[in-house]
Structure 1
Amino acid sequence: MQTRYVSEPFVNLWRDPGQVRDVDKPSLEHPAHIESWLQMTLSDRLDLVDRMESQSLYGEPVLVLEEQGPWSKVCLPGQITPKDKRGYPGWVPSAQLTFDSDYHQRWNRGPLAWITASHASVKLRSGEEKTVSFMTKLPVIEEGKQEILVRTPEGGTGRLPSDQAIIGHKPELAPPEDRIRIAKQFLGLPYLWAGMSAYGFDCSGFMFRIFEAGGIQIPRDAGIQARYGKRIDRQHLAPGDLVFFAYEQGQGAIHHVGMYIGDGFFIHSPRTGHPIRIDPLTTEPYHREFCWGTRYQGDETD
């Protein structure tokens, strides 16, 4: 088992390389053509459900379990799941992974620069600019007033605007109102199945990154997110609580999650074709499918 690091703005985690379609090829290249891939039709986006599992951001570590041709079977150690105790499992293109020993040491030692803007531009020493997502994190070499000098996973250096990142081993624990403010900056962003980046989130990926920005690690998927923290009934919801929805009028399997923002409303990434938005809990099907809320106040997954 070897550690590698993501060298694209994000890498898709696929269930089976044999399920990858021609329309997905732009996302498999190095460098990846993300914007081209995101031009998928609605039908193509809907068809991702049985193909994609998750995503990992630029510079994040992956554990390589085996390699088959151009593909690597990996686990994503930052994403808690019962599928594998080492992290979320799946397949990624080997060409989109890299390793540099200095980066590896700095990643494990910290501190890191955590991107707080929806997107930020990393100015590489070569003159190239790489656009990275919210919650991308890179090892800090030097902090300046205007820019942060960071190590990139390829072994080079880059510069980030200081006002688009925070520095630390992890974000400080933030109050619920900060999580709500952060979440609202993504209103209108298109839904993307398995999305974990500011290029498109699914429901649980959205909550994962918002809570990560608030200094709290939660599991990757909605059904597992609901198992941790303190369970809260509808009458006692407070702003910042997760709210969960289940089939069979709230009695079956959990299939959706959002965050309560107060006054009977919640923010969420609904489904393919419907961007991030705010809805009242009285809206159907959410009213009849609500099962419970969960309050995270720290790293209850530890």
Structure 2
Amino acid sequence: MDIRFVDVTVGNVWSSPEKPRDLDAPSLFRPADIKEWLSRLDGDEKGRIDLVGRLETQVLYGEPVWIVGERNGWAEIRVPEQYSHKDESGYPGWIPLEQLTFHPDYHQAWQTEPLAYVTVPFTRLRLEGSESEQSLGFMSKLPWLGEVDGEAIVLTPRGTVGRLPAEDITVARTLPTAGGEVRVATAKRFLGLPYLWGGTSAYGFDCSGLMYRVFESAGIRIPRDAGDQARFGKRVTKEELRPGDLVFFAYNEGKGEIHHVGMYVGEGNFLHSPRTGHPVRIDRLSEENYAREFCLARRYQGNETF
């Protein structure tokens, strides 16, 4: 397998090269116009709903992927940072080849240098020697080279130098583990954000994508999908719930396949990204539908092995 790095703000990972529709075109090039793509989705009655079975997950600028095959300008990839039972080497899917790049300096720096983690919903990356800027979202991360005049100096996937507002990042090789209250506060920053099937970025999350990124920001690695997230961590009862724990819901009145996940925020409430047309919000576990489908809860505290 050959390693490459994501060279667009958000890269959509599809189930096959045939799955994108005409209205998905703005997301398929470099640069990817995610705002225009979302606008097109919202202008189509089934734009977001029909992403089910098409969009698998998303990757962020600078993140690594493994290429396991190529076809007609597409790369078959595995996302090593997103654990999935589907493939032991990482979440599987397809992405346009032009949205990936490789530079030996970046590859080396990614392995050895501290990383600048974006900790705000969005910030701006300014490339040195250019007037162009690029939007970067929550949990994008790039090798950190230093700080000058309140700006973080970072290395980009193409081996060029860029600058980010230092106040928008946290510098660490690995982010320190944060407790449940911190995770809750982070998740609340996305209240009102529209649901996006397959979403793992601040442009839109699905239920497990939101949990994945919030836990990542707290220095805790969890799997990508709800079903996998429910397999690890410490199982706790509803009575033992603490803020920051994950709560899971399943079909067949909680006895079937797990289909949803949220984060307990205290006092019988949980935060989640429900479904298309319903943005990130807080609901009560005692509400009829959720009480009926609640199946288990998990507590992740770091250092999990998958």
Say if 2:255 is the partner of 1:259.
no
Q: Deviations over 1:228-250 (max 9, x none)?
A: 01111111111110000000111
Matched, 1:159 2:158: no
Q: Does 1:17 align with 2:17?
A: yes
| Distance of 1:143 and 1:227 partners within structure 2 | 41
Q: TM-score, normalising length from structure 2?
A: 0.97
What SS does the aligned partner of 1:166 have? strand
Aligned length: 302
- Which runs of at least 4 in structure 1 moved beyond 2 Å after TM superposition? none
Alignment of 1:106 with 2:109, yes or no, is yes
CA shift digits 1:263-293 (9 cap, x unpaired)? 0000000001110001111123111000111
Deviation of the 1:144 alpha carbon? 3.7
User: What SS does structure 1 have at the residue aligned with 2:252?
Assistant: helix
Residue 172 of structure 2 is aligned with which of 162, 168, 173? 168
- Which residue matches 1:298? 302
CA distance in 1, matches of 2:74, 2:109: 27
Any gaps of 5 or more consecutive residues in structure 1?
A: none
TM-score, normalised with respect to structure 1: 0.98
Tell me the distance in 2 between the aligned counterparts of 1:112 and 1:213: 13
The residue matched to 1:66 in structure 2 has which SS?
strand
- Does residue 46 in structure 1 map to residue 52 in structure 2? no
Contact 1:59/1:137 (<8 A) preserved:
yes
Alignment correspondent of 1:245: 249
**Displacement, 1:111?**
0.6
In the alignment, structure 1 residue 280 sits paired with structure 2 residue 272: no
Describe the superposition over 1:2-39 as per-residue Cα deviations: whole angstroms up to 9, x where unpaired.
11000111101100111211011110011111111001
Q: Percent identity?
A: 53
Which of 211, 215, 218 is matched with 2:215 structurally?
Answer: 211
Kindly indicate whether the alpha-carbon contact (under 8 Å) linking 1:42 and 1:272 is maintained by their aligned counterparts in 2.
no
Distance 2:24 2:179 in 1: 39
Contact map agreement 1:42 1:273 (CA 8 A) in 2: no
d(CA) in 2 for partners of 1:274, 1:97: 32
Tell whether 2:184 aligns with 1:180.
yes
Point out where structure 2 has 5 or more consecutive residues left out of the alignment: none
User: How far apart are the structure 2 equivalents of 1:36 and 1:206?
Assistant: 22
Q: Secondary structure at the match of 2:5?
A: strand
Cα-Cα RMSD: 0.9
**Aligned pair partner of 1:129 in 133, 138, 144:** 133
Going from structure 1 to structure 2, the CA distance change for 1:145 and 1:228 (only over 3 Å counts) comes to: farther
CA distance in 2, matches of 1:169, 1:146: 20
Tell me if 1:148 matches 2:146.
Answer: no
Q: What secondary structure sits across from 1:278 in the alignment?
A: strand
**Amino acid across the alignment from 2:166:** S
Question: Is the counterpart of residue 269 in structure 1 residue 273 in structure 2?
Answer: yes
